[in-house]
Amino acid sequence: MALKWWQKTVVYQVYPKSFMDTTGSGQGDIRGITEKLDYLKTLGVGAVWLTPVYRSPMVDNGYDIADYKSIDPSYGTMKDMENLIAEAKDRNIRIVMDLVYNHTSDQHAWFRESRKSRDNAKSDWYIWRDAKEDGAPPTNWRSIFGGSAWTWCEERQQYYLHTFASQQPDLNWENPQVRQALYDAANFWLEKGVGGFRIDAIVYIKKPKELLDGVPDGGDDMVNIHTMTANTPGILDFLREFKEKVFAGHDIFTVAEANGVGPEDLKHWVGENGIFDMLFEFSHTCLEFPEGEIWYKAEGYSPRLIPRLKACLSASQAATASDGWYPIFFENHDQPRCVRHFFPDEADPGAAAKAMAMTLFTLRGTPFVYQGQELGMDNVAWDSIEDYDDISSHGQYELAIQSGCSPEKAIRAVHRYSRDNARTPMQWDRGRQAGFTSGTPWLPVHEDYAMCCVEAEAQEETSVLSFYRRLSHLRREGNAAEVLQGGSYRELLPEREDIFAFCRKLRGRETFTFVNFTGKTADYDKELLEGAELLLGSMENACKGTLRPYEAVCYYRESETEVRSDENCRQ
Ligand code: GLC
């Protein structure tokens, strides 16, 4: 089947607050994104996903929306947004908006009305419950950012539910008026010409009929709300309606954040009979969290992660082999930088970044690149929890302390998993504040910026940025492009604990990817590559059969008879 435009392109994720500041405010803005469209073009980007830019009190950096149809003044105006969409379109880039539909901000007019009384017009637009007899919250659920998932409201004398922060009350999707209001907002953006949607935290929109206590899983007698509400049966009915009223019939793509939707459920969510075009699932980014995402309990990086990473990636490739499509991603605004997540502390970030890039661009699926990933940007490690802005870092730190961890252990977990790792300003040049702002940046610029920035890397043939550009080019043009876009996937060397290797194949053309995830030289049988030529290597002088530490290579082979007979068929 012919591939759609979003299956052939590269998607780039922009975190607007940290991307480019044109006013000196210390925060990025929409004009800054427009200014950098030509840069994105050099990466072969066909769509830019913006995390939320709507009006918001910014408790969770825009994931707490106060008005779905307006732009936050800190980012600019609706005119700026329209201009961005138009300028992007001129460059064949589509702008993808983030729909945060599980919850709003507590400052949204809907919630301000709802909280006033038990009988106002919007009284059941959110999830309200009475206290238990002793005044305690209705259930023992812990919100994803820590603390109870219920907050008491004096005016109504009831609790309201929030999967995330207390300033992010959950909407009541059972109410048809709520659903219609959300569809209207999405249609508003479609009319403005956006090219797709990323749909936030969507697995939480359906709540169980009865809200019951769960078995505690931390040191605070609470249970993660995810365990109690994610993917509740009945959710697909809401989603089918959502599709019908909004996405159906538009030449856009949708990608849902669907934590916990595994390969077995996939067919209901994506593909021919599914709802979305793609979904983000997190099995490969949660490898070190066997018991749910509690940072202090995570084992951190260890070589044991590599076989698990391979297994997850292969499972997701298999799940979409005949139907459905995955976005391939290793970073986003909620994840640590991949050069630390999947590699030991001593690994050279440049080599690690290229190894990950090779994996990203040669697997089957649409590559999603998160800002700065193409430079090999690294994690930060600030001294005190007070230095961190990210609301979940604070929640996780508190939980660690409450559970008896020392402050040193608690901050180490924050260093490793804080979402601020990915949110430090984009590193444009060697100048003041890495060219991000003429003012004081809202988060400090990473200290490695003089080496790791667009200015330094653009001219350097062996840089991470140049490697990304080459990979993106290979996926778009030349003999291997079609294979890399649409070819089948077969894992090679599945028993190896150091090398991730796979083959892609389409009509007599094959690519072979070999990535060494360890700091040791790794040999493999070079017969596998008989007749194949090197397409791209992450280091100079690649040698068939041997990978140096963190080296990644991609080879290409074509079987003349198969290619020729296919071309004859197509004529
Ligand atoms: C998603 C977003 C995250 C946000 C949360 C609440 O997981 O990616 O950044 O904090 O939803 O909206």
The minimum-distance atom of ligand 1 relative to the CA of 332 is: 8
Q: Into how many domains does the chain fold?
A: 2
Cα(326) to centroid of ligand 1, in Å? 20
Q: Is 488 exposed, middle or buried (0-12, 13-18, 19+ CB in 10 A)?
A: middle
Cα–Cα distance for residue pair 172/155, rounded to 1 Å: 19
What torsion, rounded to 10 degrees, do the Cα atoms 20, 458, 537, 308 define? -20
- 492 and 462 within one domain: no
- Residue 413, in any domain of the structure: yes
Query: What's the whole-model pTM score?
Result: 0.97
- 533 and 405 within one domain: no
Mean pLDDT of 531-546: 98
Mean pLDDT of 534-552: 98
Which of 406, 440, 468 is at the close of a domain? 468
Mean pLDDT rounded to a whole number for the chain: 96
Cα of 202 vs its chain's centroid, Å = 14
- Please tell me whether residue 342 adopts helix, strand or coil conformation: coil
Domain holding 309: CATH number?
3.20.20.80
- Please tell me whether residue 295 adopts helix, strand or coil conformation: helix
Please determine, for residue 569, whether its predicted confidence score (pLDDT) is greater than 90.
no
- 508 and 451 within one domain: no
- Residue 131, in any domain of the structure: no
| Residue 165 near ligand 1, beta carbon < 6 Å | no
Which of 438, 468, 498 is at the close of a domain? 468
Of the residues 200, 288, 510, 558, only one is catalytic, namely: 200
Percent of the chain with pLDDT over 70: 98
Please determine, for residue 571, whether its predicted confidence score (pLDDT) is greater than 60.
no
Paired sense of beta strands 67-71 and 54-55, if any = antiparallel
Query: Ligand 1: which of 64, 281, 334 to mutate, most ligand atoms within 8 Å of CB?
Result: 334
- Report the nearest-CA residue for atom 9 of ligand 1: 334
Please determine, for residue 570, whether its predicted confidence score (pLDDT) is greater than 70.
no
Q: pLDDT of 365-379, one tens digit each?
A: 999 999 999 999 999
Please determine, for residue 65, whether its predicted confidence score (pLDDT) is greater than 70.
yes
- Residue 136, in any domain of the structure: no
- 421 and 517 within one domain: no
CA-based end-to-end distance of the chain:
17
| Residue 64 near ligand 1, beta carbon < 6 Å | no
The minimum-distance atom of ligand 1 relative to the CA of 392 is: 10
- Residue 134, in any domain of the structure: no
**pLDDT confidence bin for 231, thresholds 50/70/90:** very high
Please determine, for residue 137, whether its predicted confidence score (pLDDT) is greater than 60.
yes
Range of the domain at 359: 9-104+176-468
The minimum-distance atom of ligand 1 relative to the CA of 60 is: 10
**pLDDT confidence bin for 405, thresholds 50/70/90:** very high
- 403 and 342 within one domain: yes
- Residue 117, in any domain of the structure: no
DSSP designation for 339? H
Amino acid at site 79: K
Percent of the chain with pLDDT over 90: 93
| Residue 201 near ligand 1, beta carbon < 6 Å | yes
- 391 and 322 within one domain: yes
**pLDDT confidence bin for 260, thresholds 50/70/90:** confident
**pLDDT confidence bin for 469, thresholds 50/70/90:** very high
Mean pLDDT of 104-129: 98
**pLDDT confidence bin for 355, thresholds 50/70/90:** very high
| Residue 334 near ligand 1, beta carbon < 6 Å | yes
The minimum-distance atom of ligand 1 relative to the CA of 63 is: 12
Q: pLDDT of 420-453, one tens digit each?
A: 999 999 999 999 999 999 999 999 999 999 999 9
- Residue 121, in any domain of the structure: no
Q: Is pLDDT larger for residue 99 or for residue 571?
A: 99
- Residue 142, in any domain of the structure: no
Residue 253's pLDDT is what? 97
- 291 and 261 within one domain: yes
Indicate if 420 belongs to the active site: no
Cα(567) to centroid of ligand 1, in Å? 47
Residue 568's pLDDT is what? 63
- Please tell me whether residue 93 adopts helix, strand or coil conformation: coil
Mean pLDDT of 114-119: 97
CB 503 within 8 A of CB 509: no
Q: pLDDT of 381-400, one tens digit each?
A: 999 999 999 999 999 999 99
Domain holding 563: CATH number?
2.60.40.1180
- 557 and 459 within one domain: no
Residue 559's pLDDT is what? 84
Q: pLDDT of 194-205, one tens digit each?
A: 999 999 999 999
Query: Ligand 1: which of 18, 61, 63 to mutate, most ligand atoms within 8 Å of CB?
Result: 63
Cα(443) to centroid of ligand 1, in Å? 19
Burial readout 288-309 (b: 16 or more C-beta within 10 A, e: otherwise) = beeeebbbbbbebbeeebbbbb
The minimum-distance atom of ligand 1 relative to the CA of 333 is: 9
- Report the nearest-CA residue for atom 12 of ligand 1: 63
Residue 262's pLDDT is what? 83
Residue 413's pLDDT is what? 96
Mean pLDDT of 463-470: 98
- 349 and 233 within one domain: yes
Mean pLDDT of 504-519: 97
Cα–Cα distance for residue pair 547/526, rounded to 1 Å: 11
Cα–Cα distance for residue pair 283/330, rounded to 1 Å: 11
Q: pLDDT of 282-322, one tens digit each?
A: 999 999 987 778 899 998 899 999 999 999 999 999 999 99
- 526 and 382 within one domain: no
CB 422 within 8 A of CB 336: yes
| Residue 436 near ligand 1, beta carbon < 6 Å | no
* Residue with token string 């599945």: 494
Residue 429's pLDDT is what? 98
Q: pLDDT of 140-155, one tens digit each?
A: 999 999 999 999 999 9
Please determine, for residue 132, whether its predicted confidence score (pLDDT) is greater than 60.
yes
Residue 419's nearest CA partner among 104, 39, 144, 32 is 144
Indicate if 200 belongs to the active site: yes
Q: pLDDT of 488-497, one tens digit each?
A: 999 999 999 9
- Residue 184, in any domain of the structure: yes
- 284 and 421 within one domain: yes
Cα(201) to centroid of ligand 1, in Å? 6
Angle value at C-alpha 473, between 477 and 36, nearest 5 degrees: 130
- 421 and 519 within one domain: no
| Residue 49 near ligand 1, beta carbon < 6 Å | no
**pLDDT confidence bin for 567, thresholds 50/70/90:** low
Which of 437, 468, 499 is at the close of a domain? 468
